[in-house]
Amino acid sequence: MKYSLCIGAYSGKDEIYHLEKIKEHGFHGLEYYAWWELKDLRQVAKEQERIGVGISATCTKFISLVDVSYRDAYLEGIRQTIEACKILNIRSVISQTGNVVDGIPRDIQRQTMVETLKRCAPLFEEAGIVLEVEPLNGLVDHKGHFLQRSDESVDVIDQVGSPNVKLVFDVYHQQITEGNVIRNATGYIDRINHYHIADNPGRKQPGTGELNYVNILNAIKGTGFEGFVGLECGYTIDTDVAVRQFKDNVLSQVE
Q: What is the pLDDT of residues 161-191, one digit of tens each?
A: 999 999 999 999 999 999 999 999 999 999 9
Instruction: Examine the pLDDT at 255 and tell me if it is beyond 90.
Output: no
Residues recognised as catalytic: 134, 232
pLDDT at 47: 98
| Beta carbons of 205 and 241 less than 8 angstroms apart | no
CATH superfamily of 2-199+226-231: Divalent-metal-dependent TIM barrel enzymes (3.20.20.150)
pLDDT at 221: 98
Residues 6+ apart with CB under 8 A from 248: none
Q: How far is CA 30 from CA 2, 186, 230, in A?
A: 11, 24, 8
Q: Give the amino acid at 100.
A: V
Q: Give the amino acid at 148.
A: Q
Give the residue from 197, 189, 60 showing the smallest Cα distance to 132: 60
Q: Give the amino acid at 86.
A: K
Instruction: Examine the pLDDT at 63 and tell me if it is beyond 90.
Output: no
Q: What is the rounded CA–CA span in Å between residue 8 and residue 11?
A: 5
Residue 56: pLDDT band by 50, 70, 90 thresholds?
Answer: very high
Residues 6+ apart with CB under 8 A from 71: 112, 115, 116, 119
To 5 degrees, how large is the angle CA 122–CA 128–CA 130? 80
Q: What percent of the chain is predicted at pLDDT more than 90? A: 98
